[in-house]
Amino acid sequence: EMPTIRGEVTFDHVAFSYDETKKILKDVSFTVKPGESVALVGPTGAGKSTIVNLISRFYNVDSGRVLIDGQDISEVTIHSLRSQMGIMMQDSFIFSGTIGDNIRYGKLTASEDEIRKASRIVCADDFISRMPEGYDTEVRERGSMLSQGQKQLISFARTLLSDPSILILDEATSSIDVQTEKALQTGLNAMLQGRTSFIIAHRLSTIRGCDRIMYIDDGGIMETGSHEEL
Ligand code: ATP
Ligand code: MG
């Protein structure tokens, strides 16, 4: 088991390959301080998603260690690890049920008030309230009636409700209208507060709120610094 974590994340000489044919990460080392937000940028196939997939232990490293608060994550249960993480992937996970249900999934005991509050903080409340049945609106077929951006906002609200110490966002390149883009940016910045965050985003606006940028290429960290430095 893992005690409640502060959220320091360290890669200590990590090497990783999906299969024997190709080493993806060769020797990656870095430390992210508790509460720090990092944007991972770099070309397609560089290894950005691979790095965050190792933090959430979707795969195990070949050699080296991934540490959270100094604890090797291969020595804790997946459940205790993931219970402290908010993971948002390219395709926002939407299931059949109401929008409220979809958000409550982050914290099953949440009240209506908590759901609304989380939604307001991430700027999801506006579009939800404008729907005919608001939070009681049924989403069918995995949210086919919702836009990409709206699904992402719902996923933000759900994740905020779960109050994770470590936040991971691996975002798709998607065309989003200007208004939703603004909401997403404001919502994301609200979520970053007080959490160690790893953001993979293709739009520059999304990563503007991050403390540090890591430039990844060919399975390694080429450069790291603030917006001003890079
Ligand atoms: P993008 O910006 O396109 O999302 P990325 O930086 O996230 O790219 P990764 O998905 O980490 O890149 O991929 C790094 C390398 O690992 C690529 O060469 C890719 O082909 C390979 N790769 C990724 N996932 C797998 C997998 N499940 N099995 C085998 N190889 C994979
Ligand atoms: Mg990727």
Calpha distance 58→53 (Å, rounded)? 5
Q: What is the mean pLDDT of residues 45-71?
A: 96
Q: For a pocket test of ligand 1, which of 11, 17, 18 has the largest count of ligand atoms closer than 8 A to its C-beta? A: 18
CA 135 to chain centre: 23
pTM, to two decimals:
0.92
Is residue 63 scored above 70 in pLDDT?
yes
Per DSSP, 137 falls in state: P
Q: Which two tokens stand for residue 95?
A: 């299931």
Residue 151 CA from chain centroid, whole number: 14
Average pLDDT over residues 184-212: 89
Q: Closest Cα to atom 31, ligand 1: which residue?
A: 18
Q: Ligand 1 centroid vs 101 CA: distance in angstroms?
A: 33
Alpha carbon dihedral 82, 83, 89, 94, in 10-degree steps, equals 140
Q: Tell how far CA 186 is from the center of its chain.
A: 15
Read off the pLDDT of residues 118-128 as tens digits, 9 standing for 90 and up. 999 999 999 99
Tell me whether strands 9-16 and 25-32 are parallel, antiparallel or unpaired: antiparallel
- For helices 112-121 and 148-162, the axis angle rounded to 10 degrees is 120
Q: Quick check: CB of 58 below 6 Å from ligand 1?
A: no
Report the phi/psi class of residue 69: left, alpha or beta, with left for phi > 0 and alpha for psi in -120 to 50: left
Q: Ligand 2 (ion): which residues have CB within 5 A?
A: 49
Tell which wins on pLDDT, 148 or 39: 39
Nearest CA to ligand 1 atom 20: 45
Q: Is the CB of 48 under 6 A from ligand 1?
A: yes
Structure-token pair, residue 185: 């940016």
Cα–Cα nearest to 195, from 43, 48, 36: 36
pLDDT at 113: 96
d(CA 5, CA 28): 23
Token digits for 104?
Answer: 């409550």
* Residue 194 CA to ligand 1 centre (angstroms): 29
User: For 124-161, what is each residue's pLDDT tens digit?
Assistant: 999 999 999 999 999 987 777 898 889 989 999 999 99
> Is ligand 1 within 6 A of the CB of residue 46?
yes
Spatial strand order of the sheet with 85-88 comes to 85-88, 166-170, 196-200, 37-41, 212-217, 220-225
If you average pLDDT over every residue of the chain, what do you get? 92
Which positions ≥6 away from 131 have C-beta within 8 Å? 99, 137
DSSP string computed for 62-126: SEEEEEETTEEGGGS-HHHHHTTEEEE-SS----SEEHHHHHHTT-TT--HHHHHHHHHHTT-HH
pLDDT band of 2, cuts 50, 70, 90:
low
Percent of the chain with pLDDT over 90: 74
In this predicted structure, the answer to whether residue 176 has a pLDDT above a threshold of 80 is no
Ligand nearest to the CA of 17: 1
